[in-house]
Amino acid sequence: MSHKHSILVIEDEEPIRVGLVDVLVFHGFDVGAAADGRDGLHQALTGGFDLLLLDLMLPGLDGREICERVRARDPEQPIIMLTARGTDEDIIRGLKLGADDYVTKPFSVAELVLRVQAVLRRARPLAALPARFRLADGTDIDAANLTARRHGGPVAELTRREMETLQYLAAHAERPVPAEELLQQVWGYPKQANPETRTVAIHIAKLRRKLEPDRTEPALLLTVRGAGYRLLLVPAAPAPR
């Protein structure tokens, strides 16, 4: 018997909350709901939900604080942020806190369900990706601890989704990886889904700011025009003759 995923909707606007619950129940999910931040945080920490659908603007505690507290307790908890506007600032704010993806209000039912199914679907097991690797500038990436270190000192802490993006790019460092492939393999979107999301571009921009904060042009995480993104690693040692 297949596992029935459970989702917690934390949304203070009643028509939107009720609509989300109805849509998700219709699509076969077990759904809980909270109308304010404090109740939402309590349920999120105690309810064992497979996914949180979390509004950014909430009474009591806002979505940012809920995301931070949940992430501190469980770095692996899947979270989708609901943003009121489609501006990059709102989206970046949510993703910076470790949300896996975002949905901009107003949204279509099809788009919402696609995002939910994508986040819940693990397209590639984490164990199949490199756990440790070194970037071309000597930065050591440690997937288990979600850290980047250079010359023994800390460079940045990464979110789970940022780390998975780096891991996938490292596993395919010999070629540029298209954004569509990252959406499928890292985010779990089905092929030919063509979602209207900038989450890959935003995550790449966040990674550049963390790994290369002083550079005006990227030197580690490159954009290959028309082909995708390429991560530069320390060159492999030549084979002995």
CATH numbers and ranges of domains, the chain: 6-120 (3.40.50.2300), 126-231 (1.10.10.10)
Q: How many CB atoms lie within 10 A of CB 159?
A: 21
Per-residue pLDDT of the chain (241 residues; tens, 9 = 90+): 456 889 999 999 999 999 999 999 999 999 999 999 999 999 999 999 999 999 988 998 988 899 989 988 887 888 998 887 666 777 777 777 778 888 888 888 888 898 898 888 764 555 578 889 999 999 999 998 889 999 888 888 888 889 999 999 999 999 999 999 998 888 888 776 677 778 899 899 989 999 998 888 888 999 999 999 999 998 765 555 5
What is the chain's length? 241
Phi, psi of 27 (to 5 degrees): -90, 10
pTM of the model: 0.68
- Compute the chain's Rg from CA coordinates: 19
pLDDT on residue 123: 41
- Cα distance between residue 175 and residue 170, in whole Å: 10
Q: What is the 3-state secondary structure (H, E, C) of 12-30?
A: CCHHHHHHHHHHHHHCCCE
At CA 159, angle to CA 198 and CA 212, rounded to 5? Answer: 75
Identify whether 178 is preceded by a cis peptide bond (ω within 30 of 0).
no
Beta bridge partners of 231: 221
Q: Crossing angle for the helix pair 88-96 and 63-73, nearest 10 degrees?
A: 30
CA distance 117 to 229: 25
Distance CA 162, CA 200 (A): 10
Judging by DSSP bridges, how do beta strands 51-55 and 79-83 pair with one another?
A: parallel
Taking phi over 0 as left and psi of -120 to 50 as alpha, with beta for the rest, 45 belongs to alpha
Q: How far apart are CA 212 and CA 218, in angstroms?
A: 7
Report the pLDDT value the prediction gives residue 1, as an integer from 0 to 100.
Answer: 41
pLDDT value of position 165: 94
**With contact defined as beta carbons under 8 Å apart, do 116 and 53 qualify?**
yes
Task: Return the axis-axis angle of helices 37-46 and 63-73, rounded to nearest 10°.
Answer: 20
Are the C-beta atoms of 168 and 185 separated by less than 8 Å?
Answer: yes
Beta bridge partners of 132: 142
